[in-house]
A and B are shown apart, each in its own frame.
Chain A
């Protein structure tokens, strides 16, 4: 009798272990999914931000405090867009110009906009030497710009009309807006396409050099960097959005925001959304 009792206890134990093991297995994919990293993909056509290594390191270190998040910057628009295709649970950090171009195709929804000096908008201006005349400046020599050539041409068309075609203007791509501006000061280029705030900074730090330059044309206001999500991720993105929106309130987070040449983030309003989505 004892023998049968012992056998049934063993059988029970085996059955219980099997059930437990099955439960563990069935729970595994969900567990694994929960640990899957949420990526923040970044590419900026408007500023040739090339501090990728430092940006990634700073972002990843900071984000790791909050959960399985990872920052992935791109230096090439095409690779960025190819990589984005089919991605669902992610955030996308890109220029407002670029957002408008790809939002429909990638079903992106704009959630946050960068702010600088308390403003969500920036203006691109064309600056040249104080003695330069306006009309044919683009034909006299290169236009220095820290934006990618597609975006630069698009703004030049906005400023000068459709006569700006592929090769009619030579663009010198430089790492930063300030490089573009100084290249006019030191005569490596005839004009520079920069943000208004860069000229303001030059006026503060180097008034003598800034007096040697003048604004020839000013473009329309455009929103600063946009943080967007694929529509399918909208509802689940609350936590990471909150983290990013509050990052400028902490010293390390504030440094990262400054590396993007911003001061902080604000939600995208309804009117801005409709403008962005065209």
Chain B
């Protein structure tokens, strides 16, 4: 019977090798914390967790770590992990503009931006009379996105009109030029469009002066004066990442290396909509997560 013992030890070693190491860039950041919680809740195997805000882990330690898969939340975790784990699989999420990292073939993840069709569908459902929407974008970051999105918007009978901004000085003149021709502004996450907070406030103020509603990608902007936001649902990102990790460990990698977030969170300021005389579709209120009156 003694021969069973070494086999048992080997099996134990295999099991520990199947562990996941979750590296969070900063678990005090609410969106990162929520993603981490949902991931661990939805993942059947043991997950060791490191918070880079509290713990330090060197590249050497990561190279020696026996984890079979690494899950990185945020850009800091990804940048630390990627060069140190060899060809072991990595899952990432919650990274703004993930393309700038040119992920390797072992990296899978969930992007931080919704598929553009999702917000357009929501705008169209809640405000069916709004047909002409302006977008400020930059050639550097969002030109391709804008070109693709115009085509998608057209399929939903939305006329999306854009103006490229090149620097801080061009933002407000571009906006002033666009506002007379549209019924709403869609504010997108482009660092050239909002290089500083001041520009966000200026854009919101100019739109308010002209009674033009602002649609955006973050619920915080609704508190500042936007009428509606269609944001990513962070718990869903955690669940998606857990699913990708399970598929990778089972040897069945997903077809798409990077997925769009599958869940949306909608905030709507009905008071503001009323101020602008915007008619909203009551039947679409079931889509809205947070209503402000």
Name A's B-contacting residues (CB within 8 A): 50-51, 53-54, 58, 141-142, 144, 170, 172-176, 178-180, 182-183, 185-189, 201, 205-206, 208-209, 254-255, 258-261
B residues 239-280 near A (Cβ < 8 Å) are 239-240, 243, 246, 254-256, 259-260, 262-265
Chain B residue with Cβ nearest A54:
B291
Number of interface residues of B (CB under 8 A): 34
A179 adjacent to B291 (CB under 8 Å)? no
B112 to chain A minimum Cβ distance, whole angstroms, is 14
The 5 A-B pairs with the shortest beta carbon distances in the complex, nearest first, are A261-B286, A258-B285, A183-B262, A208-B155, A54-B291
Taking CB atoms, residues of chain A closer than 8 Å to B125 are 201, 205
Taking CB atoms, residues of chain B closer than 8 Å to A179 are 118, 233, 236, 262-264
Which residue from B240, B259, B282 sits with its C-beta under 8 Å from A258? Answer: B282
A170 adjacent to B288 (CB under 8 Å)? no
B115 adjacent to A172 (CB under 8 Å)? no
Chain B residue with Cβ nearest A174:
B263
Tell me, in angstroms, the Cα distance from A174 to B115 when the chains sit together.
15
Tell me, in angstroms, the Cα distance from A259 to B268 when the chains sit together.
12
A261 to chain B minimum Cβ distance, whole angstroms, is 3
Tell me, in angstroms, the Cα distance from A142 to B265 when the chains sit together.
21
A175 adjacent to B290 (CB under 8 Å)? no
Tell me, in angstroms, the Cα distance from A53 to B292 when the chains sit together.
10
B262 adjacent to A174 (CB under 8 Å)? yes
Which residue from B118, B262, B288 sits with its C-beta under 8 Å from A189? Answer: B262
Tell me, in angstroms, the Cα distance from A209 to B155 when the chains sit together.
9
B234 to chain A minimum Cβ distance, whole angstroms, is 11
Taking CB atoms, residues of chain A closer than 8 Å to B256 are 187
Chain B residue with Cβ nearest A186:
B115
B289 adjacent to A170 (CB under 8 Å)? no
